[in-house]
Amino acid sequence: MSIDAHRWLMTAVNAPLERASFRPEPGAADVVIAVAGCGVCHTDLGYLYDGVRTNHALPLALGHEVSGRVVATGAAAASWMGRTVIVPAVLPCGECDLCRRGHGTICRAQKMPGNDIQGGFATHIVVPGRGLCDVDLSRLEAAGLTLPEVSIVADALTTPYQAVQRAGVTPGSLAIVVGAGGVGGYCVQIARAFGARVVAIDVDEKKLEAISHHGAALTLDARALDGKALKAAVAAFAKKEGLRPTEWFVFECSGTAAGQLTAYSLLVHGATLSVVGFTMDKVEVRLSNLMAFDARALGNWGCPPESYPPALDLVLDGKVAIKPFVELHPLADINRVFAAVHHHEISKRAVLTPA
């Protein structure tokens, strides 16, 4: 087997990504995927611009939101050959004690493309042939979507899916999503698909306007309202809609200290605060409020591979719209696109396509 491939390598913090050729060589249990699309995530920006450390030494191709087609396999992964798949952003080993006990999200041998192994800003990627999510091309076409577009299922969609599922949102719940951007927008839609009435909070009017057409029953501008006023507005909404004054589900998706403080201020009795976004920044909070409110805060790292098919179903069944929130760019433009996302000049999820 000989495949001409290239990927874009991060060589240092703040340095331009560099194109490098390589020959994809699958191990016995690996597959080689011809990348259809790879989404640009907040996490990638954290590595490149903020100095968040990758587990794999540099140089490293970033990118963990990958869709594509299996074009080569090792001997033990032959059954994957030719299949169109989404690569889970976190791939548990499937064999360790944690995996066997159903805790794949904390598997210590897990592989995250663009962090533990070479990532998806590339023509090809080599990943373990395990837990990949099949994409039915006829259903995809019927849903008016393309394979590159659903790359974002690998993280932007499945991460909030896991958060909503783990938090236990049920019909009639009140969900509040702080940060209605790349991840939070899907969180709004998924919580709605789980039966919640959803309040979206952001500092960006455009994002609030967009999400008001996709699942948010109420949008609140955090620039105009402080924590107390936001809580009062949500409480008034709950009352008007006949929703509970207790047991709110708050999803922090902004990955900012300000967003985390807002989310924390929305705790009520029996509340669940899901920490979905990441920031290195610390926040000053009264931790005892968790005790006083009999509330809980749940961290969410990735999403188990077994939850990918039902998450993808939400997209293919038209319950979660992704088309309005994704835009495709050529992989060759990666440095320009990274800068534009970094400078908030692109508000949709940018997906880089090699073709």
Binding residues for a second copy (CB under 8 A): 98, 103, 105-106, 108, 245-247, 252, 255, 260, 264, 269-270, 275-302
Give the nearer residue to a second copy in terms of CB position, either 20 or 258: 258
Q: Is residue 23 packed enough to be buried (19+ CB in 10 Å), middle (13-18) or exposed (0-12)?
A: exposed
Give the nearer residue to a second copy in terms of CB position, either 113 or 354: 113
Shortest CB 182 distance to a second copy, Å: 15
Shortest CB 167 distance to a second copy, Å: 11
Shortest CB 28 distance to a second copy, Å: 28
Q: In sequence order, which residues have a C-beta less than 8 Å from that of residue 350 and are 6 or more positions away?
A: 39, 40, 327, 328, 329, 337, 340, 341
Give the nearer residue to a second copy in terms of CB position, either 22 or 301: 301
Q: How many CB atoms lie within 10 A of CB 335?
A: 15
Q: H-helix or E-strand containing 5?
A: strand 5-10
DSSP-assigned letters across all residues of 213-263: TTTEEEEEETTT--HHHHHHHHHHHHHHHT--SS--EEEE-S-SHHHHHHH
Give the nearer residue to a second copy in terms of CB position, either 22 or 293: 293
Q: In sequence order, which residues have a C-beta less than 8 Å from that of residue 291 and are 6 or more positions away?
A: none
Give the nearer residue to a second copy in terms of CB position, either 245 or 330: 245
Shortest CB 93 distance to a second copy, Å: 14
Q: Are 202 and 180 in contact (CB under 8 A)?
A: yes
Tokens of 300: 């969410």
Shortest CB 288 distance to a second copy, Å: 5
Shortest CB 154 distance to a second copy, Å: 17
Shortest CB 351 distance to a second copy, Å: 23
Give the nearer residue to a second copy in terms of CB position, either 46 or 354: 46
Cross-strand pairs, 251: 177, 274
* In the block, residue with structure tokens 């926040």: 283
* Rounded Cα distance, 330 and 198, in Å: 35
Shortest CB 213 distance to a second copy, Å: 29
* Rounded Cα distance, 249 and 168, in Å: 9
Tokens of 115: 């962090």
Tokens of 354: 């090699």
Q: Are 128 and 91 in contact (CB under 8 A)?
A: yes
